[in-house]
A and B are shown apart, each in its own frame.
Chain A
Amino acid sequence: MKKSLHARANTLAASEAQLQLLENGIFQSGELPKFSEQLKHSGLAPLKKRQLEVLQINLGYMCNQVCAHCHVDAGPDRKEKMSKIHLERCLELIKVSKVGTVDLTGGAPEMHPDFQWFVREVAALGVQDIIVRSNLTILVANAHYASYPQFFAEQGVHVVSSLPFYKKEKTDRQRGEGVFSNSIEALKALNAVGYGQEGSGLQLDLVYNPAGAFLPAAQEQLEQDFKTSLATNYGIQFNQLFTITNLPISRFLEYLLASENYEDYMTTLVDAFNPAAVQNVMCTNTLSIDYQGYMYDCDFNQMLAIKVQSPVQHIDQFDPTTFAQHPIAISQHCYGCTAGAGSSCQGALVE
């Protein structure tokens, strides 16, 4: 198994090194416009927050997989995880902010020792939409996780799962040998407890991201392809497919540089800049929290260690009513959110 950038002591493990790359080179020479200039030029600057609707909590960077494109640089060698004190503070925030969506991510959030306790507590607060971003393979990794589909169903969790493709070859190349067949097994287990089945109210969405340096095709069309193929070949049902563009961060950035695709990929993103996608980018309604309780405008900024541009950067002192008062911290990675039909954790942003 490949290791994380951290374990390999790769220079890109440091977020400053990644930011340096994104700020310099073709963007410094003026060959491509910086994201801030592009926004200004399109009359869309500054990017502003609206209302806090989604709390995205990163429970930690531990994961049973080491996907080649991972923007978190997660893996079995990463041990960072949120402390119980911070989890409790998150619960308070959920209560006072009355957010409609709590989005649990990682790494593999299920690997957090307090995961089940935390999900129960969030559910007890009556949150409308509790998302767990599951990599699927964790659900069949060992006997301990076999009961998780049932647990998800009992708590009414909304499962959002990554499955890069509906065929083995592309999935395994991006996520590791054997990932496809394990994912199929996990999807069957989720279907068996009602997920993706009509009338069950148990939502199972899949996430597609391109296995390489290109943009995703139209979400609707890919969703159709996924649905037909998974139903015909494996009898699997799911609700929606979200297409997500790979952002030039962490291991995907490493891949872009190693394959000499970085400049072309950034050019593709810039050329595909879509002003219509800008108003709905995630940072306008989401707050991302890291395992130490620090706050970011999105999960990508978290990985680049660009904290919220506010005097209060930690959940301990945070007052959710102040959410919209501060500017959004942007850099060139933001082009990934505005290319083509746009991209977010909920998929495309425009039809």
Chain B
Amino acid sequence: MKKSYYQPEDLKKFKAITNWSPALGEKFFEYYNSVFAAGALSAREKSLIALAVSHVVQCPYCIDAYTQDGLQRGIEKAEMMEAVHVGAAIKGGATLVHGVQMMGLYDKLSM
């Protein structure tokens, strides 16, 4: 057993999740592929959204996959970094907006 929870080569084995539950695994990948096909949003836009979300959920596999996907599509550094900032802003904002809950409760309970 290697001494790390994450192995880069596991990304390539992702499809293997189907082995232990073919029906669910196949459904997932079918859904996944449909989600990323061009629709109302272009495949390029979806790639940038995926990159931002990858950072928010802090998944190293997804970051690897969508950095490479962006490079292949010709998405530029600046665009990728702005997408990551969108993720960071939402995540930061989501933390901070709960401050209103804290403030309300604090005030309600205080004399």
Q: Footprint of B on A, CB under 8 Å?
A: 165-167, 169-170, 210, 212, 214-217, 221-222, 225, 271
**Contact between chains at A215 and B12 (CB < 8 Å):** no
- Distance to closest chain B CB from A208 (angstroms): 8
Q: How far is the CA of A217 from the CA of B74 in the complex (A)?
A: 8
**Contact between chains at A215 and B72 (CB < 8 Å):** yes
Known contacts A210-B71, A271-B12, then 13 further A-B pairs from the complex at CB < 8 Å, ordered by chain A residue: A165-B74, A166-B74, A169-B76, A210-B72, A212-B71, A214-B68, A214-B71, A215-B72, A217-B72, A217-B73, A221-B43, A221-B44, A221-B73
Q: How far is the CA of A221 from the CA of B75 in the complex (A)?
A: 12
B17-52 interface mask toward A, CB cutoff 8 Å, 1 = contact, 0 = none?
000000000000000000000000001100000000
Q: How far is the CA of A51 from the CA of B74 in the complex (A)?
A: 36
- Distance to closest chain A CB from B78 (angstroms): 9
Q: A216: which of B44, B68, B72 is its contact (CB, 8 Å)?
A: B72
B77 closest partner in A (C-beta): A169
Q: Footprint of A on B, CB under 8 Å?
A: 12, 43-44, 68, 71-74, 76
Complex contacts, A221 vs chain B, CB 8 Å: 43-44, 73
Complex contacts, B71 vs chain A, CB 8 Å: 210, 212, 214
Complex contacts, A210 vs chain B, CB 8 Å: 71-72
Q: Main SS of chain A's interface residues?
A: loop
B67 closest partner in A (C-beta): A214
Complex contacts, A166 vs chain B, CB 8 Å: 74
Complex contacts, B44 vs chain A, CB 8 Å: 221
A217 closest partner in B (C-beta): B72
Q: How far is the CA of A215 from the CA of B72 in the complex (A)?
A: 6
Complex contacts, A165 vs chain B, CB 8 Å: 74
Complex contacts, A225 vs chain B, CB 8 Å: 74
Show 24 A/B contacts (Cβ-Cβ < 8 Å), sorted by A: A165-B74, A166-B74, A167-B76, A169-B76, A170-B74, A170-B76, A210-B71, A210-B72, A212-B71, A214-B68, A214-B71, A214-B72, A215-B72, A216-B72, A217-B72, A217-B73, A217-B74, A221-B43, A221-B44, A221-B73, A222-B73, A222-B74, A225-B74, A271-B12
Complex contacts, B72 vs chain A, CB 8 Å: 210, 214-217
- Distance to closest chain B CB from A299 (angstroms): 24
- Distance to closest chain B CB from A175 (angstroms): 16
Complex contacts, A167 vs chain B, CB 8 Å: 76
Q: How far is the CA of A166 from the CA of B68 in the complex (A)?
A: 19
B68 closest partner in A (C-beta): A214
Complex contacts, B43 vs chain A, CB 8 Å: 221
Which residue, of B12, B72, B73, B76, has the highest number of chain A Cβ atoms within 10 A? B72
Q: How far is the CA of A224 from the CA of B44 in the complex (A)?
A: 12
Q: How far is the CA of A68 from the CA of B76 in the complex (A)?
A: 19
Complex contacts, A212 vs chain B, CB 8 Å: 71
B38 closest partner in A (C-beta): A221
Complex contacts, A169 vs chain B, CB 8 Å: 76
Which residue, of B12, B68, B71, has the highest number of chain A Cβ atoms within 10 A? B71
- Distance to closest chain A CB from B71 (angstroms): 5
Q: How far is the CA of A165 from the CA of B72 in the complex (A)?
A: 11
Complex contacts, B73 vs chain A, CB 8 Å: 217, 221-222
Q: How far is the CA of A169 from the CA of B44 in the complex (A)?
A: 20
Q: How far is the CA of A169 from the CA of B43 in the complex (A)?
A: 23
- Distance to closest chain B CB from A117 (angstroms): 39
7 closest Cβ pairs, A-B complex: A217-B72, A217-B73, A214-B71, A214-B72, A214-B68, A225-B74, A215-B72
Complex contacts, A216 vs chain B, CB 8 Å: 72
Q: How far is the CA of A165 from the CA of B71 in the complex (A)?
A: 12
- Distance to closest chain B CB from A142 (angstroms): 32
